[in-house]
Structure 1
Amino acid sequence: MAVLAGTVSTGTAADNGAPQLETRHGVTATVFLFVFDSFFAIGWLGMTWLYPTEITTLRIRIQANALSTCSNWLSNFLIVMITPPAFANLGYRTYAMFAVFNAAIIPCVWLFFPEPKGRSLEELDVIFASAHFDKVDPVKRAREMRHIEGSELECELDKYFGASSEEVENAR
């Protein structure tokens, strides 16, 4: 997006108001638009569909995916609706605005999204339940907690889900 902003900013307006670019800048902008779309599809696009599935329990998975899909399509609709007026009013700076939003997502994901890689659904349940009862951040708990399985995992699940809240507090 930053490269698109840089190349498109070199354009001028024709007498009729249509944007004009030198061919080399237009080619560069086109190539980087396709590069952005390709890497977005390889990287971030799957997150909107896969992450809610990996992070939610079976009990709320359908509702969470419905909410995720709805927010995805509403966000797409919002972008489709604001992009033409943004280009009309901001011009090439619209690409810079999108570049800032793209850069801002990286720390948001690092700070607020627990990593589900290599963890079972049951382990994720334990991460969220233990973080809730200990009043700590689930992301921090996921980073600190080692991989558990077998009888140790069963014991942790029983501690949080096989007992009432009061029993869990008393077990601590």
Structure 2
Amino acid sequence: MQFYKNLKRARVRMGKSQIEVAKAVGISNAALSNYETGYREPDLDTLCALSRYYGLTLDELLDVNGEQHEPIYDLSPVLKNKYIAYKGEVFELKDSQKRALLRELDNLFTKFEKSKVEDKSSKPKTYKHGNPHINRAGLASSAGSLAARRNIK
């Protein structure tokens, strides 16, 4: 994937507008727009600032290895920090707030796991041939099998 697509994807993933990112990084909105459309490329200092802002390495942002994957974030180490950010706003967490957030995340992910198990158990019956309307004789409908039983031509 090309750099400009990675740049835009990183911004969208954070839920930020071009104006918000440009202001935070110290560039103009037009410059960021040019970077995200591939019309221009940033200098090294701007590239580093964008990388830090998005929390990506330069390799990830530039897609040096040519891998197309979404990064996986483990939330538990993040909640050990004194300061965290959510939707661009920085919060200072007390120990009691960290514990409360971890409990809420545990509850949330437990519900996710339960929903996965329920989804697997509620799947409809599958057939070897893939179509539940085809019987062993190969007839595609119950009307066809009924006609065959009545010898209707």
Fold shared by both chains (TM-score > 0.5)? no
Return the TM-score normalized by structure 1: 0.25
Larger relative CO (CA 8 A, sep 6+): 1 or 2? 1
Return the TM-score normalized by structure 2: 0.28
